Structure 1
Amino acid sequence: MFWKGRNLYILLAFILLAMFASSVLTLTIVGPLSFAEQGSGASGGKSAAGGFTSQELKKLSTTYELIQSQYLQEADRTKLVDGAIRGMLDSLNDPYTTYMDQKEAEQFNDMLSSSFQGIGAEVSLEEGKVKVVSPIKGSPAERAGIRTNDIIVSVNGEKLDGLTLTEAVMKIRGAKGSQAKLQVMRGGAEPIDIVVVRDDIPIETVHSEMLEDGIGKIEVREFVQNTAKAFKEQLKALEDQGMRGLIIDVRGDPGGMLQAVVEMLEPFVPSGKPIVQVEDRAGKREQTISKGASKPYPISVLINNGSASASEIMAGALQEAAGAKLVGEKTYGKGTVQVTYQQEMGDGSNIKMTVMKWLTPNGNWVHQKGIAPDLPVDQPAYFRASPMSKKTTLKADMLGDDVKNLQIMLEGLGLSPGRTDGYFSDKTAQAVKNFQTKSGLTADGEVDAKTAQAIEDAITKEIRDPKNDLQLKAAVDAVKKAIKLK
């Protein structure tokens, strides 16, 4: 795909469909990419390329010279230049546009190989806060209870306020087996501590199985280089088994390569229909047109608020161009495209900048809005319960968010705490005793760290049991109904 712009030629550019992650980068490799002439030529003292006026250059130079000659302490030249670049990009108020110095750019490039280790959560920087876009399915972050929209306040006691996204990500990342003690804010409540043991991030991005009545299910965890190949192989295997309907699960999928999702969508979108559109700042659009064909069976797509970027491209295309039904919750809402400029910087540093927006086949822009499901379905309340802080032992007559989450989990385990408003009642204590007796723990009705962990482990097992997945059940029912109507 060629885009006209300023007189710059990008031999290799990475179009990023989702933000820089602590565990995974969602991207597409394209090239060459060119930028057409913009600006008004050399009038008004500007260069033909639309650069600084002589007055602007003087202002910048004067500021630099004043710092170097008058500031109380000696300033580092490189930091001053990097700071000026960061300041320009920060003024755009775009969490997806960022500057990386040489060290950060090198670490960024290492991530592109998917050989790094970390917690497995995609994050963005919004209003100075590190926000979780989505934990990767099967990752340490997901297992520890990290959720979409969590705010990570600190890592191992180090505050993340004031850091660039890249700096924050480097603190979150770490060697396999090491611990990241995260202080997390969720829904305006008091911060909680969540310990995540870093690990290799799962590279298996596609999982499939045949469910009841000939309904196939394919789960896509992210869109990377080999995802399209694995998806097509597993789709064919299901079809060879006589599949009558298909469920595609992109819940918690933070996105990925544009090429991958387009290749995966082509067999479902009829030839001649658009799969996705991109639009530049001048409003010029370019469509990616399908050369494939439709499928003879009904399709449902499972989505939630952790489905972002390429996941939303898939959901939007299947809904608008292939007649699929979306089931679950509204998606995240990431509708912009970024390009990195490392070669242009010339010194190993890198700028990642928003340059386009992507649109659904019908021209809808989902940015900051997300895609609403055709069939809204909420999961049980215990799916959303937060881990307990474990800072103090919970006991009768106590009040707070930890008690409320305890009660929600006890109710999910069928232990009837009597209430879920955060007051530790006698009935809640009895429910705790019942759990402790069943689990071989001291049945004192109090929740110390050991009992809290056992309750969380038990509720995690319930969450992972497909029989409790109300959204999956609804998707199966929707596909069954469609099969009967055919």
Structure 2
Amino acid sequence: MNIRKRYLVLILFVAIALGAVGTYVGLAFFADGTSPSGNLASSDRDLLTELADQQETIEENMGKLSKVVDAFSIIQENYVEEVEDKQLIEGAIQGMLQSLDDPYSVYMDQETMEQFNEQIESSFEGIGAEVSMTEGNVTIVAPIKDSPAEKAGLKPNDQILSVDGESVEGLDLYEAVNKIRGEKGSQVVLEIRRPGVDDLLEVELTRDAIPLETVYVDTREENGKLIGIIELTSFSENTASDFENGLADLEEQGIDGLVIDVRGNPGGLLPSVQEILSNFVPEDTPYLQIEDPSGKKTRYFSDISSAKEYPIVTLINEGSASASEILAASLNEALDYDIVGETSFGKGTVQQTVSMGDGSTIKITRMRWLTPEGNSVHEVGVEPTIEQKMPEYYYTNPVQVEEPLTFNESDDKIENVQIMLEGLGYDPGRTDGYFNKETQAAVEAFQQDQELNVTGEVDEKTAEVLQTTIIEKIRNNEDDYQLEKAIDTLTE
């Protein structure tokens, strides 16, 4: 091996050795929410044994990476253009992670890592949507509450194909995210493929500052009972403490039941949901299991002696992922509390960030989380114990028309319009996609109420206002059948 190769191997394995320590320290913090003591061994003998084992592992892996080092040298010495070492090294790291075929294990350079931290720590500017890479497509997990993405009607499982006319195909997740983000007040046009919709959607959004307020508290009185409602929009650093403060306020009011709403909540920090579960699940029952890379399973317990005296219902939907699913599944299996809504997203893995020493980071799937009974929900989701859909107009799609939709036509877009009109209180006569006289009259009534040109035809402007009006009604939580079902369950 020449000097250059030896030098590269040395760099690679110093990084691996440091990364191993970083993983240990990071896991200690991540698993139980406390900082490690710094005592990596109980005695000098144990420490020497550990270091010897690490040295043996390094020497073993050096042989395995000789092919990578050879490839590095071949490219540097033979490629027609000059290539920087950094470009090849970072490309090798990207390639290794991509070969895992895991959308949640990614490499982030220094700039990307800073932006990633913004999502967890305070606020950021952009469209306000949690995204993941699913089967090579940039896919929305859930829009953030009160964000431009939510206001524009983006939905879980929407696939982003292009940003301002530029395809995101071939980009990794964080390269695509960098294109989507931008300064407050700037506009961006996304091309969206929505499952079940034939036509591609073009959605224009105005970026905004996205404050990460994650806990919203409310009450409802039904059948003489006071029901507390806590909505969690994500699990960030302050979520658990804000939740506990909100819960204390509700308990002071004497609530008879609690609804925890994690619909559209894409997840977040594991310690956050652990702290929340520790308020409910007694010490004699695990609230969660974690499976490490070796297959070892660790059960986690709270230190409270008994469960709450009031019943609890969790609300979920297809945008509920990761920590949201932990919360719902744990409360159900540990305490037999009902789950109302629709099957959740299905993310049953836990990621950990490991610093590479230069500001760049690898976010890698380190563990699997399991329900108290040891079940995995990865790629299958959490099923509700009480299935409840929302009104049909909640599932409608933007109507984008080039030529007006008119009387006596039949089209899927017309069906969408009819469902929207019906949801807004106008009677289209039918919802099968045939534009009859009753539909025409409903369109005219809508146009008159919205001070539009009354034609009875659905032109571009009418479609736009119709979509805006229906989204506003959804965002106001009108006709929230799922919440009503949860409250009914608690008050029956």
Short-chain TM bin: 0.7 to 0.9
Match of 1:88 in 2: 96
Q: Is the 8 A contact 1:270 1:322 kept in 2?
A: no
Which stretch of structure 1 is more off in the superposition, 314-323 or 411-420?
411-420
Match of 1:225 in 2: 237
- Unmatched 5+ residue regions in structure 2? 1-17, 42-46
Q: Is the 8 A contact 2:293 2:366 kept in 1?
A: yes
Deviations 1:241-287 (CA, angstroms, capped at 9, x unpaired): 22111111111111122222122222211122211111112211112
Give 1:205's match in structure 2, choosing from 204, 214, 222. 214
Amino acid at match of 2:297: R
Deviation at 1:289, TM superposition (A): 0.5
Q: Residues 122, 165 of structure 1: CA spacing in aligned structure 2 closer, same or farther, 3 A cutoff?
A: same
Kindly indicate whether residue 443 of structure 2 is the aligned counterpart of residue 432 of structure 1.
yes
Give 2:114's match in structure 1, choosing from 95, 101, 106. 106
Match of 2:308 in 1: 295
Deviation at 1:41, TM superposition (A): 7.4
Kindly indicate whether residue 138 of structure 2 is the aligned counterpart of residue 127 of structure 1.
no
Matches within 5 A, 1:86-485: 86-188=94-196, 189-212=198-221, 213-292=225-304, 293-342=306-355, 345-481=356-492
Q: Residues 122, 310 of structure 1: CA spacing in aligned structure 2 closer, same or farther, 3 A cutoff?
A: same
Structure 1: distance between partners of 2:20 and 2:401: 58
Structure 2: distance between partners of 1:432 and 1:211: 36
Q: Residues 58, 232 of structure 1: CA spacing in aligned structure 2 closer, same or farther, 3 A cutoff?
A: closer
Which stretch of structure 1 is more off in the superposition, 430-439 or 307-316?
430-439
Deviation at 1:394, TM superposition (A): 3.0
Amino acid at match of 2:112: E
State the secondary structure of the residue aligned to 2:58: coil
Deviation at 1:449, TM superposition (A): 2.9
Q: Is the 8 A contact 1:14 1:29 kept in 2?
A: no
Larger of the two Rg values belongs to structure: 2
Structure 1: distance between partners of 2:285 and 2:374: 12
Match of 1:23 in 2: none
Deviation at 1:136, TM superposition (A): 1.3
Structure 1: distance between partners of 2:448 and 2:193: 33
State the secondary structure of the residue aligned to 2:455: coil
Deviation at 1:105, TM superposition (A): 2.6
Structure 1: distance between partners of 2:201 and 2:29: 31
State the secondary structure of the residue aligned to 2:362: strand
Q: Is the 8 A contact 2:121 2:237 kept in 1?
A: no
Aligned residues: 461
Deviation at 1:457, TM superposition (A): 2.6
Q: Is the 8 A contact 2:282 2:301 kept in 1?
A: no
Q: Is the 8 A contact 1:392 1:448 kept in 2?
A: yes
Structure 2: distance between partners of 1:409 and 1:139: 22
State the secondary structure of the residue aligned to 1:8: helix
State the secondary structure of the residue aligned to 2:57: coil
Question: Normalising by structure 1, what TM-score?
Answer: 0.87
Structure 2: distance between partners of 1:266 and 1:373: 22
Amino acid at match of 1:229: S
Structure 2: distance between partners of 1:116 and 1:16: 25
Amino acid at match of 2:373: N
State the secondary structure of the residue aligned to 2:189: strand
Amino acid at match of 1:455: L
State the secondary structure of the residue aligned to 1:116: strand
Amino acid at match of 1:137: K
Q: Residues 50, 130 of structure 1: CA spacing in aligned structure 2 closer, same or farther, 3 A cutoff?
A: farther
Deviations 1:308-331 (CA, angstroms, capped at 9, x unpaired): 111111111111112311101111
Amino acid at match of 2:251: E
Q: Residues 7, 434 of structure 1: CA spacing in aligned structure 2 closer, same or farther, 3 A cutoff?
A: closer
Amino acid at match of 1:313: I
Question: Normalising by structure 2, what TM-score?
Answer: 0.86
Deviations 1:417-471 (CA, angstroms, capped at 9, x unpaired): 2443444444433221121122221110122332122212322233244451111
Amino acid at match of 2:285: K
Structure 2: distance between partners of 1:472 and 1:15: 38
Structure 2: distance between partners of 1:202 and 1:331: 25
Q: Residues 219, 105 of structure 1: CA spacing in aligned structure 2 closer, same or farther, 3 A cutoff?
A: closer
Q: Is the 8 A contact 1:216 1:246 kept in 2?
A: yes
Q: Is the 8 A contact 2:123 2:211 kept in 1?
A: no
Amino acid at match of 1:277: Q
- Unmatched 5+ residue regions in structure 1? 18-26, 482-486
Q: Residues 264, 406 of structure 1: CA spacing in aligned structure 2 closer, same or farther, 3 A cutoff?
A: same
Q: CA RMSD in A?
A: 2.9
Structure 2: distance between partners of 1:416 and 1:297: 42
Sequence identity of aligned pairs in percent? 46
State the secondary structure of the residue aligned to 1:468: coil
Deviation at 1:109, TM superposition (A): 3.5
Q: Is the 8 A contact 1:28 1:258 kept in 2?
A: no
Deviation at 1:15, TM superposition (A): 10
Deviation at 1:102, TM superposition (A): 3.1
Q: Is the 8 A contact 2:142 2:319 kept in 1?
A: yes
Structure with the bigger percentage of helix: 2
Deviation at 1:209, TM superposition (A): 1.5
